[in-house]
Amino acid sequence: MIDVGIIGASGYTGAELLRLCGGHPELRVRFATGDSQAGTALAELYPSLAAAYPGVVFDRYDPALLDRVDLVFCGLPHGASQALMPELRGKVRWVVDLAADFRLQDAELYPRWYGEAHAAPELLPGFAYGLPELHRAEITGASAVATPGCYPTAAALAMAPLVRQGLVETTGIVVDAASGVSGAGRPPKPNTTFCTVDEDFTAYGLLTHRHTPEMEQTVARLAGVEPDAVSVLFTPHLAPMNRGMLATCYLRPTAAAAGASTAELLDLYRESFAGEAFVVVTDGSPSTKACLGSNTAHVTVRADARTGWLVAIAAIDNLTKGASGQAVQCANILAGLPEPTGLPVTGVYP
């Protein structure tokens, strides 16, 4: 068994980590911190966890807790991991961070997109980017992983085969994506109350969403170009559903893709994702409900001869493949376990 701790377990990603670890045959949760909920039973805040964690309460973070574990998941708000990471890296074998603190390799991007300088830029090169389907070799053998954001996960999986093969321009990429309300976190906010969200559909973060540079970084790495050779116009939307994410990406083909048909591109996607346990290439239109509660992404692609654009689409569960499931997937790789261990591949339906 591998002993794990979850720092910041009282939020939605923490609850999802607890759910997945509770059914994992090799990961044993030794502590779950939630300073705002310290002393509260897990089952009181999340009754769904009662059977897996009877009598367990949220701890207040204490460095002494680290002596109990081999691996730590960090589910803290952005910025909080930076202060803890030097201590964590020195005391535990593996760290998987779910926040954005160590996703961007260029420290100079943090002031622009996150409003403040990075507190530990010297640690950035030591983190692998935790999207296994695209960066598995980087994760294997690493000791620290920064899992991608939910929007970049969906967009990257949708676009990756086209970008890797040089079939699309790396500038002028347009990504429209919609997320369920759980993506905004557990603490109540005026714009995420039931009365605000129900029967509504809105765009937000116009031109300024923090996941934009993460998408551009991924495209640059897949295409093998410099970051300034990539531009993504990203518009996120809030959908009136608890969980789920749908990303629709619009890309201009290069000469290498001139005249490519939808059937040819779908064949490329099937070849690119062959053997991937958590990617389904579908002829139809991906559905968020098909992914509900699973760690699986559903992707498709279309070539539009009329406009000349290519359209790539991915659906995921924002809390599973978009966050906690992907974190467990990375933990499996770090620990040398079969990658699908303890992770659901099928969605909950209806």
- Confidence at residue 186, expressed as pLDDT on a 0 to 100 scale: 87
All structural domains of the chain, each given as residue ranges with its CATH number in brackets, are 2-147+322-334 (3.40.50.720), 151-320 (3.30.360.10)
Sheet bearing 71-74, strands edge to edge:
27-33, 2-7, 71-74, 94-97, 144-146, 128-129
- Confidence at residue 9, expressed as pLDDT on a 0 to 100 scale: 97
150 counts as catalytic: yes
Model-wide pTM > 0.85: yes
**Contacts of range 280-289, beta carbons closer than 8 Å, 24 or more positions apart:** 285/313, 286/246, 286/313, 286/314, 286/315, 287/315, 288/180, 288/241, 288/243, 288/244, 288/245, 288/246, 288/315, 288/316, 288/317, 289/244, 289/347, 289/349, 289/350
Residue 206, token pair as written in the block: 């116009």
**Residue 233: which H helix or E strand, with range?**
strand 232-238
- Tell me the three state secondary structure of residue 61: coil
Are β-strands 71-74 and 94-97 bridged in parallel, bridged antiparallel, or unpaired? parallel
Q: Which residues pair with 302 in a beta bridge?
A: 311
- Confidence at residue 187, expressed as pLDDT on a 0 to 100 scale: 84
Q: Which residues pair with 128 in a beta bridge?
A: 145
- Confidence at residue 190, expressed as pLDDT on a 0 to 100 scale: 87
Q: What is the spatial distance between Cα 253 and Cα 294, in angstroms, rounded to a whole number?
A: 32
Contacts for 48 with CB less than 8 Å, ≥ 6 apart: 15, 19
- Confidence at residue 266, expressed as pLDDT on a 0 to 100 scale: 98
Q: What is the spatial distance between Cα 17 and Cα 294, in angstroms, rounded to a whole number?
A: 13
**Do residues 3 and 28 lie in contact, with contact meaning Cβ atoms separated by under 8 Å?**
yes
* Catalytic position from the list 21, 150, 249, 330: 150
Going residue by residue through the chain (350 aa), what tens digit of pLDDT does each one get? 999 999 999 999 999 999 999 999 999 999 999 999 999 999 999 999 999 999 999 999 999 999 999 999 999 999 999 999 999 998 999 999 999 999 999 999 999 999 999 999 999 999 999 999 999 999 999 999 999 999 999 999 999 999 999 999 999 999 999 999 999 888 878 888 998 999 999 999 999 999 999 999 999 999 999 999 999 999 999 999 999 999 999 999 999 999 999 999 999 999 999 999 999 999 999 999 999 999 999 999 999 999 999 999 999 999 999 999 999 999 999 999 999 999 999 999 99
- Confidence at residue 189, expressed as pLDDT on a 0 to 100 scale: 87
Q: Which residues pair with 28 in a beta bridge?
A: 3
**Do residues 288 and 274 lie in contact, with contact meaning Cβ atoms separated by under 8 Å?**
no
Question: What angle, 0 to 180 degrees and rounded to 10, lies between the N-to-C axes of helices 150-164 and 132-139?
Answer: 90
Are β-strands 279-281 and 128-129 bridged in parallel, bridged antiparallel, or unpaired? unpaired
Question: What angle, 0 to 180 degrees and rounded to 10, lies between the N-to-C axes of helices 325-334 and 12-22?
Answer: 50
Q: Looking at this protein, which amino acid is placed at residue 334? A: L
- Tell me the three state secondary structure of residue 290: helix
Longest dimension (CA), the chain: 63
